[in-house]
């Protein structure tokens, strides 16, 4: 790739991480190296099992301590996110990966696990050939402005409202 761009997948609809993982799969198919940093998430899901098959080109690292939807982030949550930022500074800048995905980074900013300045600094330090993908609802206007591509997932209908729980292989 000659130039890497900044992509943001945000909104309240389903599919932000799924879209990023699809891009990771496409990049791996082209022989590109991918780094996936998961903020907040701790649980091992079906996609992790699938991505292990591509361990020669896709690296996944979870920095989260678990979902924080209905609770105040703990010191451990904040520390894990700060560790991610510290490690990602070198990864994003290095050019060692063609694609770097910051999964749920927007949520990490929204819940003050990391600052907007931290995320903007990662964007600014990105290697010129690295494609940077940022996912998560609540994308800050400054992130949207810094991005080259922004997709907002907008839910029109979702079976969760009919009591359907997350299913293995589909939502988890």
Query: CB-based contacts of 126: which residues, under 8 Å, 6+ apart?
Result: 4, 6, 92, 93, 100, 132
Q: Return the pLDDT at 2.
A: 87
Q: Would 168 be classed as within a structural domain?
A: no
For the CA atoms of 131, 35, 54, 18, the dihedral, rounded to the nearest 10 degrees, stands at: -70
Domain that residue 60 falls in = 6-162
Assigned domain for 38 exists: yes
Q: Which pLDDT tens digit goes with each residue over 121-134?
A: 999 999 999 999 99
The label of the residue with tokens 């810094």 reads 146
Question: Is residue 172 included in any domain, yes or no?
Answer: no
Kindly state whether residue 169 falls inside one of the protein's structural domains: no
Domain total in the chain = 1
Half-sphere exposure of 99 (CA within 13 A, CB side): 25
pLDDT per residue as tens digits for the range 55-99: 999 999 999 877 666 678 889 889 999 999 999 999 999 999 999
Let me know if residue 170 belongs to a domain.
Answer: no
The CATH number of residue 140's host domain is 3.40.50.300
Helices 116-125 and 75-94 pack at an angle, to 10 degrees, of 20
pLDDT at res. 68 = 67
**Domain-located, residue 101:** yes
């Amino acid at each position: 790739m000659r130039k890497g761009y900044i992509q943001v997948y945000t909104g309240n609809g389903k599919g932000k991480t799924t879209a990023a993982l699809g891009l990771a799969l496409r990049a791996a198919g082209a022989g590109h190296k991918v780094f996936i940093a998961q903020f907040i998430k701790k649980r091992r899901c079906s996609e992790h099992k699938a991505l292990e098959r591509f361990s020669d080109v896709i690296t996944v690292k979870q920095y989260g301590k678990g979902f924080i939807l209905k609770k105040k982030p703990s010191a451990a949550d904040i520390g894990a996110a700060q560790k991610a930022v510290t490690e990602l500074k070198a990864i994003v800048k290095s050019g060692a990966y063609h694609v770097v995905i910051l999964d749920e980074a927007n949520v990490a900013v929204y819940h003050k696990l990391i600052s907007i300045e931290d995320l903007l600094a990662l964007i600014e330090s990105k290697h010129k050939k690295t494609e940077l993908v940022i996912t998560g609802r609540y994308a800050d206007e400054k992130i949207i402005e810094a991005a080259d591509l922004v997709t907002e997932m907008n839910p029109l209908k979702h079976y969760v409202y009919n009591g359907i729980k997350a299913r293995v292989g589909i939502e988890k």
